Amino acid sequence: MLITLKLLNRSTLKNVSFLILLLKMCLVFGQKKVVVIDPGHGGTDSGAIGINGIYEKDVVLKVAKAILKLNKSLFDNELDIYLTRYGDTLISLSERNRLAKSLDADVFVSLHCNASPSNSRGMEVYVYHSKNEKSITLGVSILNEGNQKLGFEKRGVKYANFQVLREAIAYCPSILVEMGFMTNTDEADYFLETKNIKAMALALLMGLCSNE
């Protein structure tokens, strides 16, 4: 039975230790995997505005920073993770891609939150093209973790001609993750809780790890 969002505050706490154990088991020694995490928007570009007033740009940055902290504090920097922005600044799309190229990244993950005029809910992942098999596999892995560990509905892997995907795919597998809808009350409120930000970060790390 899927975890409902109304139970996330309680069930997420139960799952955190399990997520950590699984992540430790799947990390392997050797050359570090270079991962570029791109928190979307920033600065004057707020992104979607939640029904509760939160900004997409703030949510995605918090999740990205939580990924950095968990990688460092729990796993001794097993993954070599870089962010395209570390503060509330607006970085051009070309600069975000340029970073991935300069670091010879193994994976590029752009983080976003969704918005809809209807009461839509769930997570979805975008890739540039249907032939990008590694990107699709990574997207499915991310969606599975978000669904199985956090209870977010899977909206599937979709295709889009987004610039960050189009340019990054020349260097490495790349995906754009829509982590939930700012216009859905349950999902917008979910990101108000620090422990839920951490749980989402862990799920994303699990998705990256499961794709090894």
Beta carbons within 10 angstroms of residue 74's beta carbon: 15
Mean pLDDT in the chain? 88
Query: Do 9 and 196 touch, CB atoms closer than 8 A?
Result: yes
SS3 75: coil
According to CATH, what is the number of the domain 33-210?
A: 3.40.630.40
Beta carbons within 10 angstroms of residue 139's beta carbon: 27
74-78, 85-89, 134-138, 203-207: the lowest-pLDDT one: 74-78
Supply the DSSP symbol for 5.
Answer: G
Supply the DSSP symbol for 148.
Answer: H
Could you tell me the CA-to-CA distances from 148 to 31, 143, 154 in Å, in that order?
Answer: 29, 8, 10
Beta carbons within 10 angstroms of residue 137's beta carbon: 16
Between CA 15 and CA 176 the distance in angstroms is 25
Band (1; pLDDT cuts 50, 70, 90):
very low
pLDDT given for residue 32 in this prediction: 85
Beta bridge partners of 101: none
Q: Which helix (H) or strand (E) holds 38?
A: strand 34-39
pLDDT > 90? residue 74 = no
> Nearest to residue 209, comparing CAs of 121, 149, 124?
149
pLDDT given for residue 111 in this prediction: 98
pLDDT given for residue 10 in this prediction: 43
Q: How far is CA 190 from the centre of its chain?
A: 15
pTM for this predicted structure? 0.86
pLDDT given for residue 16 in this prediction: 54
Could you report the per-residue pLDDT of 143-165, keeping only the tens digit for each? 999 999 999 999 999 999 999 99
Characterize 33-67 residue by residue with b for buried, 16 or more Cβ atoms within 10 angstroms of its Cβ, and e for exposed: bbbbbbbbbbeeeebbbbbeebbbbbbbbbbbbbb
Could you tell me the CA-to-CA distances from 75 to 72, 86, 108, 149, 208 in Å, in that order?
Answer: 6, 21, 20, 20, 14
